[in-house]
Amino acid sequence: MIDSTMLAQLGSGMIRSVEIFFLTLLFSLPLGMLVALGRMSRFKILSAVIKVYIAIMRGTPLMLQLIVVYFAPYYVFGLNISSGFRFTAVIIAFSINYAAYFAEIFRAGIQSIPVGQTEAAKILGYSHAQTFMKIILPQVIKRVIPPVTNETITLVKDTSLSFVLSVTEMFTIAKQIGAKTASITPLMVAGLFYFIFNYVVAFGMDYFEKKMSYFR
């Protein structure tokens, strides 16, 4: 049975999951664009460093990255770690991880734009910044929406990994309640939450893609 106490507890976990989701997108999307531009830079050293960063972020588990981000200040710099840093560490780890994935998506989108458009903009007197912001970027946004949607849906489910740092999001609380009450109901409620959340995200991204259809 689902009582009011259980719903209140699961609701608090849901709010924390939503916070992780939106804060990660808030930081990782713009960071991903900057990383993509750095990856495409003519400065070989910058491009090489960012390539290594992307390889590490995509080649190691997010769970491991969460642990490293949280404990690195202590083991590397000798700084004291407070319990309040747990949530901050989660946001940092999620943001730098997803920024690497978004960077490759953005890079593919930018490189898919015909070079002739850049040359035409140059002839018309556009600067590099104007060309990117007014001509390239709107087309890139339209083209990368499907893969960005896939990563965003994955992010919804990955918020459950926050339990590694004892951040009590939706799934963690559901497991705790389930263990205490010897019931699978809390886990089923959590699963329903993730399903509905992903459906809303997919619906919103699909709506946004249709709104951008005039860039075809």
**What's the 3-state SS for the chain?**
CCCHHHHHHHHHHHHHHHHHHHHHHHHHHHHHHHHHHHHCCCCHHHHHHHHHHHHHHHHCCHHHHHHHHHHHHHHHHCCCCCCCHHHHHHHHHHHHHHHHHHHHHHHHHHHCCCHHHHHHHHHCCCCHHHHHHHHHHHHHHHHHHHHHHHHHHHHHHHHHHHHHHCCCCHHHHHHHHHHHHCCCHHHHHHHHHHHHHHHHHHHHHHHHHHHCHHHC
Spans of all domains in the chain? 4-215
What architecture does CATH give domain 4-215?
A: Orthogonal Bundle (1.10)
Instruction: Note the pLDDT of residue 12.
Output: 85
From the number of C-beta atoms within 10 Å of its C-beta (0-12, 13-18, 19+), residue 1 rates as exposed
**Three-class DSSP labels, 145-159:** HHHHHHHHHHHHHHH
Instruction: Note the pLDDT of residue 86.
Output: 92
Instruction: Note the pLDDT of residue 2.
Output: 63
Instruction: Note the pLDDT of residue 59.
Output: 95
Look at residues 72, 110, 93, 82 and name the one whose alpha carbon lies nearest to residue 27.
Answer: 93
Give 10-residue mean pLDDT values along the chain (216 residues): 74 90 96 94 93 95 94 85 87 97 94 83 80 83 90 92 89 86 84 90 86 64
